[in-house]
Structure 1
């Protein structure tokens, strides 16, 4: 299944609060909102994508528990981005001090762009759609992002203020200065 996009404008333009309430009353549906106000309905992934995503989240969380530098979030977490979009990346990490500085409502979406995001392409995802999301994250201030494509065994690395880097069949990815010491071994993703 692929995602479905509903264009609401000019019929209605949901505020951030209205979008949050819509998500709350439709909690069984994974929704995102683009910066132009389009609603994106995200279907559940297949088991293989779910396994890969769990491995990614686990690896990042193990590193984070040792580093104690931030907070790891899974794909069900909403982020209200500075450009007006509300997104739920597959895996995210935010430096602890940034969350503490804003004291967000724990029941609502986190009102900031994460420091690090991962989008994991499932078999039904359109690559161009994910590339657009990754560029959006970078434009909103995400410092490091990985678009991982298991089907092609490719990775696109998005860094704040720099052009996208394309890697073919890398064995590992480094968290660089954003996640010092974090290294993701891609064997569990490629298998």
Structure 2
């Protein structure tokens, strides 16, 4: 068994663990997880903006570490629980998903792609607006560029999971037949 197959099997087993179920049992809880994950992403973006405004300085370094720590506190538990809630819809290889999950993954990726185009358009507009005023003397701290790129990467990576978590319906109550079947 290759390492990636072992890893996929480990991920599937971890998603079946009951410890996360209370976090994602209802649609309202899953949407809170999505909000927490999105807030973590926004903190990454805020970190880039703060760094752009005050770098290079000691205050920028302190702000970076504080915002990154807060971001991880919100982001990691939310993403972990959402992965369990969606049964790996956005993270597992397609061969590990059933037909319903593959269809939902396609819908989530389509919506996330649309949202990502909006994010990229806004970032481009903001960069042009900020740089326009400075002319040839406009400068952007290298740390801000790195943080913007990391924020873009994380946004691109996690948007399908956030969309899938937001859209995921509650399971039918016990004793009622599944509508999809």
What band does the TM-score fall into relative to the shorter chain?
A: under 0.3
Q: TM-score, normalised by structure 2?
A: 0.24
Quick check: which has more Rg, 1 or 2? 2
